[in-house]
Amino acid sequence: MIEQFVRLKSLIIKFNNKRTQRFFKYGAPFLILMLGGSFGLKMFTNLRYEYKPQVILRPEDLEKEGIYMKKPEEVTLESEYEKIKNLDIDNWKNIRGPRPWEEEPAQQNK
């Protein structure tokens, strides 16, 4: 019984000595916060994806809503490059759009 008390007393003394060191005062709490925070955030972000309703979009359903998608064969990188290559990017004019509180194009011509 006395030996256990002596061991406990020595552990308390060691803990008090370690508590005053800079690493255990500042470094250890910082590391615990960083590592524990990353695991905690992982759990919370998994919840977002676990309980998010999974909706499969089919082209037929989209067409009923009025959304028409192009077929993947119609749009290629080369075809889009050809469209952009023909644009004249050297001659352009900066036109400011109307603000919500302004009148329509009448003020743009000033």
**pLDDT (tens digit, 9 = 90+) per residue, 67-106?**
888 877 788 899 889 989 988 888 888 988 888 888 776 5
pLDDT over threshold 80, residue 109: no
Give rounded-to-5 percent helix, strand, coil for the chain.
55, 0, 45
**Which residues are within 8 A (CB) of 95 and not within 5 positions of it... i.e. 6 or more apart?**
108
pLDDT over threshold 70, residue 38: yes
Question: Is the entire prediction scored with pTM above 0.75?
Answer: no
At 3, the pLDDT band (50, 70, 90 cuts) reads confident
At 7, the pLDDT band (50, 70, 90 cuts) reads confident
